Structure formats: C-alpha cells, structure tokens
Amino acid sequence: MTNKEKESKNNKSSISVFFDEVSRSSWLVPILAIFSGLLVGGLIVMFTTDEMYILIGDGQIFEGLSLGFRAMVDSFVALFTGSFGSPTKIIAALQSGDDLLIRRAFNPFLESFVASTPYIFAGLAVALGFKTGLFNIGAEGQLFMGAIFSVWVGFAVKGLPAIIHIPLALLAGALGGAIWGFIPGWLKAKTGAHEVINTIMMNYVAFRLSEYLLRGPLMRPETFTPVSPMILESAELPRFFESPIRFHLGFFIALFVAWLVYWFMFKTKWGFDLRTVGANPRAAKYAGMNIVRSTILAMVLSGALAGLAGANEVLGVNHNLALAFSSGYGFDAIALALLGKSHPFGVVLSAILFGFLRNGAIRMQIVGIPVDIITIIQAMVIIFIAAPAIVRSIYRLKEPKESDEQTFVTSWGAN
C-alpha cells in the first residue's frame, strides 16, 4: 500500500472503514455466519446435557453422545415450533374450525413478528449511527427513555381520540430517545468526547432514572410495586386479532419507518451529508458539510428510533412500564445492525430473524434450554460477521477484491 492510500484510509472514520470491509464481502458471509452461530449454539446445548455425561461416565459412550445429539435436535425443533408454530397443531386447528384453536395455533408465528418489531426500530437506530461513523451503544438507555416518555403520555394525557393520542405517544417516545441521543451527540461534536463511553454512561443514568421514576412519581397509585399505571385505551396500538394474538400495528409502523430511514439516508441531501461524514469526515469538511450538525443530527435521529422501540413495546405489547422491561434489545440491536450491513432493509430482515429466534427461545425453555442460548448465538454471529476472515477460512471462500482488514477506532476522548 502506498503512503497516499494509507493516508486516505487514515482520514476515514473508524467504523465506516470497518463497514466498507464488511459490506464488500458477499451476502454469503452473513448467511454462513447465521448458520455457524446456530451450529455453535446447538453444540453448546449438546455438550451441556448433563445426562450425556452420566451415560458416558457409565461407559455407554455411544448412547451418551446420541442422547446429547437428540437434545440438540429437540432444542432446534422447539426453536422451530416456538417461532413458526407447530404444523400438526395448525392442521388440527384448521380441521376443527374452532376460532380460538386457530388463533392459538397461529399465535407463535405472529408473536415472532411482535418480537421483531422493537428489533427493527433499535436496529435502525444503531445502523443509522454506523452509517454516520458513530457507534451508538446507548440504544438500550434511549429505549428506556422513549418508554418512559410514551407511557407518561399514554396514561396522563386524557380525553384524546386514538387517532391523535397514539401518534402523540409515539412522538413522545421518539422525543425521549432523541434527548438521550442528543446529549452524547452534542458532547461528541463540541468536545470530542467519545460517544461509546458517553452512551454507556447514559444507559446507566437512564436505568437509574427509570428506577427512581417507577418507585416514585410514575408508580401506580394503589400498588407498592414499581410498575407504572396502565396506559389509556386510546393510546394502545390497535391489535389485528383477538386474544391471545398480540400482533399489532407497530410492526407496520416499523416497516414504514425503515422505508423512511432508507429514503432519508439514500435519497435526501441530509442523508447524503450524514453518509459522507461517516465515510470520510475530512472530505466532508472540505466539501463544506457541517460535521457538527451532522453528528448531532445522527445521534438525535438514532436516539429517536431507539425511543420508538421503547414506545412500541409500551403502547403495543405491555401497556405499562415495569422495571427492566427491555431485557437487552439495545445490545442485540448492535448485532443485527452488523448482520444487516447497516442497510435499513438488511436491518429489517435481521430483525425478523432475531425476533423469530427470541420467540422460539421461549419454547426452548420448556425443553430445558435457557433462553440465554439466543444471546450466545447472537455473539457467535457477530464474531463471524465482524471477522469475515474467520468465516472465509472455515468455508474456504475467496477473499474479496482489494480486501483490506484494517480498521480504525478513534479513542475515548478528544482528538
């Protein structure tokens, strides 16, 4: 590499170089990464089956291994039926013609989309940051703030028709997230303080704040548990089917927002500015783009998207706010933004995949596999995505042209 090339690479922002590299690899890498992640997850299930070791200890090595293998197959079957629904149940329900049975049979499939919805919003939040060269690790905190704001509008603003109340509550959620994104964005733009540390810190401030609010001002009056009041019916996102199906309008709003993000990032001047700042801040500066504005705007939008994820959960699924209600959507969002190559449509696809995994994992718990297996699978997927060289060497893929594994991270503080 000549010095000149090297220099131009140094000028690029950290994450975008990394992204160039990830995106240049073919779509085969994500697919193989998912496959490898599932395989590793299956092997972990197999090798943590305690009965297997008892049998092997007794000298029945083959029986032991086949038992472990069966545990792995069982867990995959549970994952499948948990996320898609069991085919036999669906057929039986259709034959019986009973409404409730049919709804129950199709519920797992639709519930997977319910689980995908916050993933879409949170994934878009992280992806938009990545495209602008920012690493928003604070989606979780922004999600909490969004949930707090929207639940407040949901129960405290009374007497509005649904057509006004729902958008208002959603916007409040976006606002809450946007404020939580604005602070690290502003600090980054004005002082150079690294957004990764600041968003982590903001996460914990948001957790503590939600604890305080749920034990104090937002606590449901007649109870002593840290839960907010139920939101009014006029703020609930409409559901399409009767109980137990929770599939609600939020999924389509998420798809629309994904399209909106696509349009904004790829079809408008502002989006072009953001992407240029992400790809090469120095070039963007010489082209007369306002880097301070772009950085703040990107963090505000990213926060707003994450806030929508929280609002969606509150308005569409839970209808109230409890402590620690999110269980890690914000961190999973990093994985799926990487998996979706930070493109809005890629994010939607990975979010649906993650939603199916998350929903299927609940069924896996019945066969004794803790739901945390999903977290492990996700970590493996990111490893394979983030270091494509590993996948390429396992599956003997060809190196992409002008391959360059060099990546740069700017550091915590000022430049």
Partner 1 sequence: MTTTLRKKIDYVSPSRQRWMGGIQMALALGIWAIFSRSLETGTFTTFVMTPGGSEFELPNWIFSTLPTLNTFAMIAFAFGAYQFIKGFGKRTNLILSIVVGLFVFSFLSWATAEKSINLAGLLKGTMVRAVPIALGAFAAMINERAGIVNIAIEGKMLAGALVSVLIGSLTNLWIGLIAAIIVGGLLAWVHGILSIKYKTDQIISSTVILIFATGLTSFVSARFLQKYQHLNSSGIFHSFPIPILSEIPFFGPILFDHNIFVYAMYFFLFFLYFALFQTRWGLRLRSVGEHPKAADTLGIDVNKTRYMAVILSGMMGGFAGAYFTLGSVGRFDEVMTAGRGFIGLAAMIFGNWSPFGSFGAGLLFGFADSLASKLAILGVNISSEFLLMTPYIATMIVLAGVVGRGQMPAASGQPYEKE
List of residues contacting partner 1 (CB under 8 A) = 14-15, 18, 44, 48, 50, 135, 137, 187, 191-194, 196-198, 200-202, 204-205, 208-209, 211-212, 215-216, 331, 334-335, 338, 368-376, 378-380, 382-383, 386-387, 389-390, 405-414
DSSP for 88-139 reads HHHHHHHHHT-HHHHHHHHHHHHHHHHHHHHHHHHHHHHHHHHHTT---TTH
Cβ nearer to partner 1, comparing 187 with 254: 187
Question: Would you tell me how many other CB atoms lie within 10 Å of the CB of residue 58?
Answer: 10
| Least spacing, CB of residue 323 vs partner 1, in Å | 12
84 or 408: whose CB is closer to partner 1? 408
Shortest distance, position 321 Cβ to partner 1, whole Å: 16
Q: Closer CB to partner 1, residue 46 or residue 93?
A: 46
Least distance in Å: CB of 86 to partner 1? 24
| Residue 72, SS3 per DSSP | helix
User: What sections of 192-280 are H helices per DSSP?
Assistant: 195-215, 250-267, 269-279
Instruction: Tell me how far CA of residue 292 lies from CA of 130, 142, 323, in angstroms.
Output: 16, 21, 35
Alpha helices in 132-238 (DSSP H): 139-156, 162-191, 195-215
Min separation Cβ 198 and partner 1, Å = 6
Report the residue number, 5 or 233, with the smaller CB distance to partner 1: 5
Instruction: Give the span between the Cα atoms of 27 and 33, in whole angstroms.
Output: 10
Rounded to the nearest whole angstrom, what is the least distance from the CB of residue 405 to partner 1 in the complex?
5
Residues 390/384, Cβ–Cβ less than 8 Å: yes
Question: Cα 347–348–349 angle (5° rounding)?
Answer: 90
Element (H, E) at 292: helix 291-312
Give me 224's structure tokens. Answer: 């002593």
Cβ closest to partner 1, residue 214 vs residue 232: 214
Instruction: Output 49 or 116, the one with its CB closest to partner 1.
Output: 49
CB of 315 closer than 8 Å to CB of 294? no
Rounded to a whole number of angstroms, the minimum distance from the CB of residue 91 to partner 1 is: 33
**Residue matched to tokens 């999110």:** 326
Closest-CA residue to 120 (of 308, 384, 383):
308
CB nearer to partner 1: pick between 168 and 209? 209
Query: Whole-number minimum distance, CB 33 to partner 1, in Å?
Result: 12
Q: How far is the CB of 51 from partner 1 (least distance, A)?
A: 11
Tokens coding 232: 């009014």
Q: Which is nearer to partner 1, 204 or 256 (CB)?
A: 204
